[in-house]
Amino acid sequence: SSTNSAVLNVRQTVDANNNLKLVWDRPQGFDVVSYEIYSNEYTPRLLATITDPDQTWFVDQSYVYGYKSYQIAARLRKRVPVGRGLG
């Protein structure tokens, strides 16, 4: 059975320059418009907006060492009901 999964399955790795790189899966069954990456230390702070729904990675060049928390939000296209008449 096919189910819509909004799980992003975020992983961390490093890029070629040894910067922290977050990688995630594109959610299946959803029409993703963009991703928003937040630094989540005390209050969420927007680090980047990725407008290519096929780009499922982000490099944090400001990360040095130690604990850091992130939040990734997938923004979805609003669905408009089809086949409904007015009036």
Residue type, 77: R
Question: What is the per-residue pLDDT for 40?
Answer: 87
Question: What is the per-residue pLDDT for 2?
Answer: 45
The set of long-range contacts for 64-71, using a CB threshold of 8 Å and a minimum separation of 24, is 68/20, 68/39, 68/41, 69/39, 69/40, 69/41, 70/10, 70/22, 70/37, 70/38, 70/39, 70/40, 71/37, 71/38, 71/40, 71/44
pTM confidence score: 0.78
Q: In what order do the strands lie in the sheet with 20-23?
A: 11-14, 20-23, 57-60
pLDDT mean values, one per 10 residues, the chain (87 residues)? 65 94 92 94 92 96 89 84 54
